[in-house]
Structure 1
Amino acid sequence: MTSSLWWRGAVIYQVYPRSLMDSNGDGIGDLPGIIEKLDYIASLGVDAIWISPFFKSPMHDFGYDISDYRSIDPIFGHLDDLDRLIKKAHQLGLKIIIDQVLSHTSDQHAWFQESRTSRTNEKADWYVWVDPRDDGSPPNNWLAIFGGVAWEWEPRRGQYYLHNFLKSQPDLNYHCEAVQQQILDEVEFWLKRGVDGLRLDAITFCFHDEALRDNPAKPAEERKGRGFSVDNPYAFQRHLYNNDRPETLAFIEKLRALLNGYPGTVTLGEISTEDSLHSMAEYTAGNNRLHMAYSFELLAEKVSPAYVRETVENLEKNLTEGWSCWAHGNHDVVRVLSRWGGETPTPAMAKLFNTLLLSLRGSVCTYQGEELGLTEAVIEHHKLQDPYGITFWPMFKGRDGCRTPMPWHKTAIAGGFSDSENTWLPVSESHREFAVDVQEHEAGSVLNHYRDFIRWRKQQPLLLEGNIRFVCDSENVLAFYRYTGEQRLLAVFNFSGEAQQFTLPESGGMPVYASPAQTMALAANNRITLAPYGSQFIRF
């Protein structure tokens, strides 16, 4: 693997900076806190870190509403802190990927503050401004993800502006060439500072339909999605005209051309559309668009062997040229162990889910705390911070439950996350028993299993870049080959809490890895026994 392709098969550890480590006792994680924990992250064996936004922001959406693309928000530190972070990460062999939120800004951004003042100022067309209908209502039926219509009235201009998210997150007008060039300049600022890649948030929302056509209705049986269930009217529409417009691809090509001038840098695009698999293929086609597409398909509420097989096979069928990046958790969804593990999730399940994720073809984004087997934290209503959850409570409780501070020390104040008990979100008491200092000393802990498997994975070229082919139809067992040429590695996973017998599809295999650790032997009838929530790998 060449250095320019370091990202193929890489494991990328997502850091949510507010919640990793607080270095100054204000109850909020920060860049110096990340620096303090870089040795720990490197010890996991991961290849890169994706850091969620740390830019200047009023924090209405906790950093995804940027008011200055080139400044660090004071709660996180300063530019020299980021420089130190990049330097130390590189010394440890870690790449740094930063979030770039390019489709919209904060309404506190200087660009919007100028744009809203009149229809004739220099930035008058930098945002999406539209006249009202004759009756004063918004120009069409577009809805915002976080609730309500996607249009907000601005009396100074006598027009509506578009916001696909919060009303404090106005959408930039990418039909304006000056906006595109300015955004490329903002991106290059960070490339020059030495970042190794960009995770492109909401990248499919950059362009809108200039004809402002209404989105068509979606049948009731199709109203589902990650947080967009029937309690959110956003699920009632097919978002054809405010998302995933064809012009976006041309801008992506401009962005890729910029990164080509910084060898070894990479783009990871968040792709969420009405047909995400088709869009992922489009956005990664050829060698002039995105390097990787971030898949949402495993962020589902429940999974089964059949679901995983169907999902991966569909992606493989569509993504003929591109490269996928799998995730089963992030800062926007209920923690994977609570989603997939049912009412009584166990460490064995956490090991299975992590092993599966790390065995699929593609790169991997793993969210902080998944290496500990953390479950979703329960947050009392009066302690909620997420505007999404506050709006839709109690049908949807928001994203705070997956964003609580990392538990570093079982008995320390705030679990070792901060010197202050007044943390921005409460430390989950249920997480203390899974703290890093506890698991470090348990040979069979989720944490040490995570490290061990990544260490073994690095020595398996087939898991890094091999093809994938499924070989089993079973209610409880998932099995697939990772292969290239004549070399094959069979991965088998037991999704049930009872031991399962599995007959290998061919003879001559050699067991090479099992979780939990056990004596690996093939029975005379070419069968293996899978422990409850266990996995095995057999080389042919």
Structure 2
Amino acid sequence: MTRNSTLIGHQGQDWWRGAVIYQIYPRSFMDANNDGIGDLQGVIDKLDYIASLNVDAIWLSPIFTSPMKDFGYDVSDYRDIDPMFGTLEDFDRLVEAAHARGLKVTIDQVLSHTSDAHPWFQESRSSRDNSKADWYVWADARPDGSPPTNWQSVFGGSSWQWDTRRCQYYLHNFLTTQPDLNFRNPEVVEAILGEVRFWLERGVDGFRLDAVNFCTHGELRDNPPQEEIAEGFIGVRPDNPYGYQQHLHDKTQPENLAFLERLRALLDEYPGTTSVGEVGDDDSLGVMAGYTQGGKRLHMCYSFNLLTEQADPQYLHDTLTEMEARIGDGWPCWALGNHDVTRLATRWQAEGNPAALRLYMAFLLTQRGSVCLYQGEELGLPEVELTFEQLIDPAGITFWPAYKGRDGCRTPQPWKADACHAGFTGAEPWLPVPDTHLGLAVDHQDRAADSLLNAYRDFLAFRRQQPALVKGSVHYHPVRNEVLCFERCHPSNAPVQRLLVALNFSDQARELPAPPQAMAIEEAPALINGTWSDGKLQLPPYGIAIARCPQSDEEVIQWDV
């Protein structure tokens, strides 16, 4: 299969700007061949469901050939599908079927490192003078035999591993079985760009770039200690020494920008394709800005700043306003959940609270930027509590019991409440389906008009019709009484569309002054339940309000909240 140019641009070449991208964790989405592990055919079988959500694209977590030490984020062949997921022909059918439903297809690309089973590394480690000897980051021991620097791995311990074949250390920012490529070697850059081109030719519409700020390392110097351990990237926790350092030399190096420009130039050869980079850094917002500004690097980036336990509206306001102040002509991407963090319903303490989950949905989908929506968020799935014996994630096993790993957010999608293993598989699933998820299954929520699933469908359909929410500018007003207030504005074909948004993060009703121009939107779904009248805004607990402000020439609405 080669790229079909007629598929590109049905939503415009900048379809990604303001797009909602549904993240699929293939192992846990749908098992079509009943071996207990989800597969590409399972994704194909559920494309109608995905399309019914009114999202714009899918993102497939890694499906490449891999030893699965880190569940696909350790690639041993960039150009083939791991047999547990299917074949290249299955992938081609998935792309064709998704495009037929108006869905773009983005795939995870792990560029900073490979598996130690990759032929490149097998050759590189064989000697110090082979053709790929410098394709990975190798360094001699210090005089006392210790690692070259004090750099720490995200998954615990030194990020250097001794190799007896070369009698040198190699760098691994993650597992010891995930050696880091040497992007200072031009041959490596050319090889990686060739792997990306392979999938562009196969018809993909974009790439989610894993840990993209890890591609280049700096001078082999010790990192200084961290004065304060702040929750953020998956390795930054009090129980993990990774968080004890300022990561000045092991990632987010200026040289990485040159690689990103090469990557963008390649993508620009395929109009309508896109890139979203994952960045984890002490200054993630600054990296998001720097990596997306100027139109010559990545199209968009997301960080872990909204993937923490902090759901306080003032924290959210401060994060978003800082991003706006720094990003310029760049473009952010936001997520409240993914395969690396505790499920949103649990992390933001909203289990069994559908009103709060609707609020968090509206918060995510009204921000300026694109959105990544993790499978199961539309169902309100809580985190699954697993025993140590049930854990598979190496991070959870290493850091137990302080950190229980990522298995709890990766359990299978529940499709049918009354079916074996919730309709995910007819075999024993790779991770268990808990009883707490059965009442939230797709078939159960599909039949309930007021379910969270249907709230997502309704809100996303509404959002598509509001240019201000998709691509408009944003201005934040001060937070008052736990209400986050902002406006979105877009110069659409008609007069400028200006929307006011108010989100009540409190479990108590709130009343605010309302701008006199504010008018309720008649076609808004019922979940938008705030009322605008007589110069006042009434918000129920966890209430959502969106209003139009027609006939306003003001640059910013005077909203005295």
- TM-score, with normalisation over the residues of structure 1? 0.97
Q: What is the match of residue 442 of structure 1?
A: 448
Residue number among 85, 106, 123 corresponding to 2:132 in the alignment = 123
The counterpart of 1:27, out of the listed 33, 36, 45, is 36
Match of residue 463, structure 1, among 447, 469, 476: 469
| In the alignment, structure 1 residue 82 sits paired with structure 2 residue 88 | no
**1:48-76: CA deviation from partner (whole Å, max 9, x where unpaired):** 00000000000000000000000100000
8 Å contact kept, 2:529–2:545: no
Distance 1:453 1:389 in 2: 35
Closer, same or farther: CA 223–316 of 1 in aligned 2, 3 Å:
closer
Which of 168, 177, 190 aligns to 1:168? It is: 177
C-alpha displacement of 1:473: 2.2
**Which residue, out of 478, 481, 489, partners 2:499?**
489
In 2, Cα distance between equivalents of 1:278 and 1:321: 13
Q: Output one character per residue of 1:512-531: Cα deviation in whole Å (capped at 9) or x when no partner.
A: 2767547764332x112212
Percentage identity across aligned positions?
55
Match of 2:498, SS state, is strand
2:20 & 2:512 partners in 1: Cα distance?
Answer: 29
Give 3-state SS (helix, strand or coil) of 1:298's partner: coil
Aligned length: 534
Please say if residues 529 and 543 of structure 2, whose CA atoms lie closer than 8 Å, have aligned partners that are also in contact.
Answer: no
Superposition pairs of residues 193-208 of structure 1, within 5 angstroms: 193-208=202-217
Give the 3-state SS of the residue equivalent to 1:235 in structure 2.
helix
The 1:70–1:274 alpha-carbon spacing in structure 2 relative to 1, beyond 3 Å, is same
Quote the Cα distance in structure 2 between the aligned partners of 1:521 and 1:294: 33
User: Helix, strand or coil: the match of 1:357?
Assistant: helix
State the match for 2:484 in structure 1: 478
Counterpart in the other structure of 1:321 = 329
1:338-383 C-alpha deviation (Å, 9 max, x unpaired): 11125x5411111111111000001100000011111111111101
The residue number in structure 2 matching 1:508 is 517
SS in 1 for 2:213: helix
Once the 2 structures are TM-superposed, how far is the Cα of residue 222 of structure 1 from its aligned partner? 3.6
Matched, 1:401 2:421: no
Q: Give the whole-Å Cα distance in 1 for the aligned partners of 2:95 and 2:525.
A: 35
> Which of the numbers 271, 282, 298 marks the counterpart of 2:279?
271
8 Å contact 1:281–1:318 — kept in the other structure?
Answer: yes
1:201-222 deviation per Cα after TM superposition (whole angstroms, max 9, x unaligned): 011111111x301111111x34
Q: 1:158 aligns with which of 167, 190, 195?
A: 167
Q: In the aligned structure 2, how far is the partner of 1:247 from the partner of 1:518? A: 46
Gap regions ≥5 residues in structure 1: none
Question: 2:58, 2:103 within 8 Å by CA — same for their partners in 1?
Answer: yes
- In the alignment, the residues of structure 2 paired with residue 273 and residue 473 of structure 1 have an alpha-carbon distance, to the nearest angstrom, of 27
C-alpha separation between the residues in 1 aligned to 2:510 and 2:529?
15
2:106 corresponds to 1:97: yes
CA distance 1:300–1:521, shift in 2 (3 Å): closer
**Which of 291, 301, 304 lines up with 1:296 in the alignment?**
304
Instruction: Pick one of 519, 522, 533 that aligns with 2:532.
Output: 522
Q: TM-score, normalised by structure 2?
A: 0.93
Inter-partner Cα distance in structure 1 for 2:189 and 2:416: 46
**Which residues of 2 match residues 383-398 of structure 1 at below 5 A?**
383-398=390-405
- Between the aligned partners of 1:317 and 1:274, the Cα distance in structure 2 is 18
C-alpha contact (below 8 Å) 1:470/1:479 kept by paired residues: yes
Q: How far apart, in 2, do the equivalents of 1:514 and 1:353 lie?
A: 17
Residue 483 of structure 1: how far off its partner (Å): 1.4
Is 1:368 the counterpart of 2:375 in the alignment?
yes
**Match of 1:258?**
266
CA distance in 2, matches of 1:366, 1:399: 17
Q: What amino acid maps onto 1:354 in structure 2?
A: M
- How far does residue 472 in structure 1 lie from its aligned partner after superposition? 3.4
Partner of 1:454: 460
Pairwise mapping of residues 116-265 of structure 1 onto structure 2 (< 5 A)? 116-209=125-218, 211-219=219-227, 221-227=228-234, 228-265=236-273
Shift of 1:224: 3.2
2:530–2:546: 8 Å Cα contact kept in structure 1?
no
Q: For each residue in 1:75-129, what CA deviation from the matched residue of structure 2 results, as whole angstroms up to 9, or x when unmatched?
A: 0000000000000000000000000000000000011111111001111111111
Provide the C-alpha distance between the structure 1 equivalents of 2:231 and 2:396, rounded to a whole number of angstroms. Answer: 17
1:113 aligns with 122
1:102 touches 1:183 (CA, 8 Å); kept in 2? yes
In 2, distance between residues paired with 1:475 and 1:28?
A: 46
Contact 1:48 1:97 in 2 (8 A): yes
Residue 16 (structure 2) pairs with residue 10 (structure 1): no
Distance 2:538 2:478 in 1: 15
Q: Does 1:283 align with 2:279?
A: no
Q: Is the 8 A contact 1:476 1:494 kept in 2?
A: yes
1:415 maps to 2:422: yes
Give 1:502's aligned amino acid.
L
Q: Which residue of 1 aligns with 2:315?
A: 307
**SS of the counterpart of 2:183?**
coil
CA contact (8 A) 1:304 1:475 kept: no
Task: Output the CA distance in 1 between the equivalents of 2:319 and 2:25.
Answer: 27
Structure 1 window deviating more from structure 2 (491-500 vs 260-269): it is: 491-500
Distance 1:148 1:520, change over 3 A: closer
CA contact (8 A) 1:516 1:531 kept: no
2:559 is matched with which residue? none
Question: Which amino acid in 2 is paired with 1:155?
Answer: T
- Give the deviation of 1:223 after TM superposition: 4.2
Mean alpha-carbon deviation: is it higher for 235-244 or for 289-298?
A: 289-298
Cα 1:137/1:518, change in 2 over 3 Å: closer
Q: Which runs of 5+ in 2 are unaligned?
A: 1-8, 550-561
Q: How does 1:338-353 map to 2 (within 5 A)?
A: 338-341=346-349, 344-353=351-360
> For residue 554 of structure 2, what is the aligned residue in structure 1?
none
Given that 2:482 and 2:506 are in contact with CA atoms closer than 8 Å, whether structure 1 keeps it comes out as yes
- Between the aligned partners of 2:451 and 2:120, the Cα distance in structure 1 is 50
**Deviation at residue 303 of structure 1 after TM alignment:** 1.3
Deviation digits for residues 3-45 of structure 1, max 9, x if unmatched? 1100111100000000000011110001000000001000100
